[in-house]
Amino acid sequence: MALFAFFGLHQSAATVIKKVTPTFWWAGMDNPELQILLYGDNIASHDVSISAQGVELRDVVKQDNPNYLILYVDLSEAAPQTFNITLKKGKKATNIPYELKQRRPDSSKVKGFDASDVLYLIMPDRFANGNPDNDIVPGMLENKVDRNEQYGRHGGDLKGIEDHLDYLADLGVTAIWLNPTQENDMPEGSYHGYAITDYFQIDRRYGSNEDFLRMVNKAHEKGLKVVMDMIFNHCGSHNFLFKDKPSKDWFNFKSEYVGTSYKTASVQDVHASEYEYKIAVDGWFTQAMPDLNQRNRHVAKFLIQSSIWWIEYAGINGIRQDTHPYADYDFMARWCKEVNDEYPNFNIVGETWLNSNVLVSFWQKDSKLAAPRNSNLKTVMDFPLMEHMNKAFDEETSDWSGGLYRLYDYLTQDLVYADPMNLLTFLDNHDTSRFTTNDEKAKNLNRFKQAITFLLTTRGIPQIYYGTEILMTGDKSEGDGMLRKDFPGGWAGDSRNCFEASGRTAQEQEAFEFIKKVLNWRKGNEVIGKGTLKHFSINQGVYVYERKYNGKSVVVIMNGNDRKQDIPLKPYAEVLPKKQAKDMLSGKVVALDNQLTLGEREILVLEF
Ligand code: CA
């Protein structure tokens, strides 16, 4: 909002500045270099000067387009202040005030997310509409709301999330990941947020930047971390940087549309042709999402600053980076390093949608497969495990294939990962069919309970998708919008409210109570958050694994078949230190003699 007032201030002057990015910055950052991008009609012909204490103008870079000036200033000696950037042409001078704020105390120590957390993924347009007044913002390109239209705007917003922070804290998750909340002022189909038109502005249909900050602060008060979605590979075609490009090389293929192949395996493929590599990385995600050229040093700095800006401004705990392998590898590695240098405890998860552990592992920090290069990306997404989990709990398990064998077999290959505990694990997300694809699957609560128990007790950082707790369904074959249905009760006048037990069916309530129990048990449980994983091969369809930390352990025993099963316990002696243990799920004490009888699809979570 400040920018608009500022625009008005200078309307009478000859030189009109339309954009200044970043909108402000901070004194005392570890990296003293600041890029200030100025956008305004024909400003390139002006002389630029700065008069300020400790702020040194190092470079002024013109672009092909005379509407841009890119300044590089050194803030090594700068204290918090507001100084003037002066643009001078002939006798006419225009002053642009620029603020360097005081950093918040301990902002560099912001704590990222890790395996002690469970992330809850929310699509802001589809979760809850806390403020119907912002559903339609005059002047924005898509200015209607239609909840019957799967690709339309539905009106959800930050207030809707803020209003349900207690619900989420009570559910037992410890972090929320929001699909992008930055401005997407596009004519259509941008409700998902992945076509950013202003990197420094919350979409006004979700709220203001101040509303975002308040929501983050409230989340923190309730013990919830906040993970923000960012997109460096592309922006929306209505971004001013694309509509009036600084230069053609700000976007790949000289700013002309060429589609990506989506085949990013070519980045690590030792046999890849140059054609495959270039089309995957430089091709555009869609025509409405131009592909940013991060090899342009100004683009690179612009993007890096946009992420630092949100961390410093809002104190977010993590970033989920969209389409990570689609952007330039070296740039992304530099970005991760610069964020980590500024915020050593922060975490970033990259969307690494690749179909094998070999390919995913390549993207993780310290991967031996990528050496001597290093992505510096601490957390990658375990898409292969998602695929296995979506089959494992539907199939019968034998000792050599199918069902839970898939999970055991996949985890035996974890040596490929530099850090298995820092994998993001999930049953589904906003881009995939929901784990509960349809009503038929929703009826099978054994399937749900085994999947949730496994997800929340195996290695990694679990993420669940909003609505999982009430068995929300979604089938990708019916359209992406159907994966992102409105949470029942998020809108005034909804026929039922699933945020309350009274609004849930008996089946939904059983699922809700189950996941809530496991989540709350997991919260702060160091055996799961920090412990080692040791497992056994499938025996008579039963999967057994142990998590252990600091002398305490949890042993999960899961029957992968729809039949009663007796298993001998002798092979598991090394993880069964006592002759009995309490099962966390049922609360009952289980005798651990020579043999154990398990009911069909039974799960035991034994605590030692
Ligand atoms: Ca709204």
Nearest-Å Rg of the Cα atoms of the chain is 26
Q: How confident is the model at residue 13 (pLDDT cuts 50, 70, 90)?
A: very low
Q: Are residues 521 and 534 in the same domain?
A: no
Q: Are residues 310 and 442 in the same domain?
A: yes
- 481 occurs within a structural domain: yes
- 25 occurs within a structural domain: yes
CB under 8 Å to 284, separation ≥6 — which residues? 234, 252, 253, 257, 258, 259, 260, 290, 291
The pLDDT of residue 79 is 98
Q: Are residues 494 and 560 in the same domain?
A: no
CB under 8 Å to 148, separation ≥6 — which residues? none
Question: How do residues 466-515 score in pLDDT, each as one tens digit?
Answer: 999 999 999 999 999 999 999 999 999 999 999 999 999 999 999 999 99
Residue 43 has pLDDT above 80, yes or no: yes
- 277 occurs within a structural domain: no
Residue range 233-243: mean pLDDT, rounded: 98
Q: How confident is the model at residue 15 (pLDDT cuts 50, 70, 90)?
A: confident
Centre of ligand 1 to C-alpha 199, Å, is 21
Q: Are residues 535 and 419 in the same domain?
A: no
Centre of ligand 1 to C-alpha 189, Å, is 17
Domain limits at 583? 530-607
Residue 7 has pLDDT above 90, yes or no: no
Q: Are residues 501 and 599 in the same domain?
A: no
Of the residues 511, 526, 541, which one is the last residue of a structural domain?
526
Question: How do residues 122-148 score in pLDDT, each as one tens digit?
Answer: 999 999 999 999 999 999 999 999 999
Question: Three-state SS for 66?
Answer: coil
The total number of structural domains that make up the chain: 3
Residue range 164-192: mean pLDDT, rounded: 97
DSSP string, 540-598: TTEEEEEEEETTEEEEEEEE-SSS-EEEESGGGGGG--SSEEEETTT--EEE-SSEEEE
Centre of ligand 1 to C-alpha 206, Å, is 6
- 265 occurs within a structural domain: no
CATH code (residue 50):
2.60.40.10
Instruction: Round to whole Å and give the CA distance between 382 and 407.
Output: 12
Centre of ligand 1 to C-alpha 588, Å, is 46
Cβ atoms of 86 and 95 within 8 Å: the answer is: yes
Centre of ligand 1 to C-alpha 128, Å, is 8
CB burial readout 80-99, b (16+ within 10 A) else e: eeebebebeeeeeebbbebe
Instruction: Round to whole Å and give the CA distance between 27 and 506.
Output: 55
Q: How confident is the model at residue 76 (pLDDT cuts 50, 70, 90)?
A: very high
CB under 8 Å to 409, separation ≥6 — which residues? none
Task: Give the C-alpha distances (Å, rounded to integers) separating 34 from 67, 183, 200, 463.
Answer: 20, 23, 15, 35
The pLDDT of residue 5 is 38
CATH code (residue 573):
2.60.40.1180
Tell me how many helices (H) and strands (E) the chain has. 16, 26
Centre of ligand 1 to C-alpha 74, Å, is 41
Could you tell me how far CA 576 lies from the centroid of its own chain?
38
Centre of ligand 1 to C-alpha 127, Å, is 10
- Alpha helix stretches (DSSP H) within 36-129: 124-127
Short-list 411, 490, 469, 482, CA closest to 158: 490
- 263 occurs within a structural domain: no
- 254 occurs within a structural domain: no
Instruction: Round to whole Å and give the CA distance between 285 and 268.
Output: 19
Residue range 286-309: mean pLDDT, rounded: 98
Centre of ligand 1 to C-alpha 156, Å, is 5
Centre of ligand 1 to C-alpha 242, Å, is 28
Instruction: Round to whole Å and give the CA distance between 256 and 290.
Output: 8
Question: How do residues 92-126 score in pLDDT, each as one tens digit?
Answer: 999 999 999 999 989 999 999 999 999 999 999 99
Report, as residue numbers or ranges, the catalytic residues: 322, 351
Centre of ligand 1 to C-alpha 2, Å, is 22
Centre of ligand 1 to C-alpha 236, Å, is 22
The pLDDT of residue 6 is 44
Short-list 183, 243, 207, CA closest to 23: 183
Which amino acid, one-letter code, is at 179? N
Cβ atoms of 511 and 470 within 8 Å: the answer is: yes
Residue 184 has pLDDT above 70, yes or no: yes
Structure tokens at 19: 């954009």
Cβ atoms of 411 and 552 within 8 Å: the answer is: no
Centre of ligand 1 to C-alpha 133, Å, is 6
Percentage of residues in the chain with pLDDT exceeding 90?
97
Centre of ligand 1 to C-alpha 476, Å, is 26
Q: Are residues 176 and 240 in the same domain?
A: yes
Structure tokens at 401: 């294939």
Report the residue count for the chain: 608
Provide φ and ψ at 123, rounded to 5°: -95, 110
- 279 occurs within a structural domain: no
Q: Are residues 384 and 473 in the same domain?
A: yes
Centre of ligand 1 to C-alpha 129, Å, is 5
Centre of ligand 1 to C-alpha 145, Å, is 9
Q: Are residues 446 and 504 in the same domain?
A: yes
CB under 8 Å to 464, separation ≥6 — which residues? 118, 119, 120, 121, 173, 426, 427, 455, 515
Q: Are residues 473 and 436 in the same domain?
A: yes
| DSSP 8-state symbol, 324 | G
Structure tokens at 472: 């929300």
Q: Are residues 432 and 386 in the same domain?
A: yes
- 596 occurs within a structural domain: yes
DSSP string, 184-201: ---SSS-TTS-S-SEEEE
The pLDDT of residue 3 is 44
Centre of ligand 1 to C-alpha 166, Å, is 19
Of the residues 82, 103, 124, which one is the last residue of a structural domain?
103
Of the residues 103, 124, 153, which one is the last residue of a structural domain?
103
CATH code (residue 296):
3.20.20.80
Q: Are residues 99 and 125 in the same domain?
A: no
Centre of ligand 1 to C-alpha 472, Å, is 22
CB atoms within 10 A of CB 253: 18
Average pLDDT over all residues of the chain: 96
Centre of ligand 1 to C-alpha 125, Å, is 8
Residue 155 has pLDDT above 50, yes or no: yes
Question: How do residues 532-561 score in pLDDT, each as one tens digit?
Answer: 999 999 999 999 999 999 999 999 999 999
Centre of ligand 1 to C-alpha 207, Å, is 8
Q: Are residues 563 and 517 in the same domain?
A: no
| DSSP 8-state symbol, 123 | -
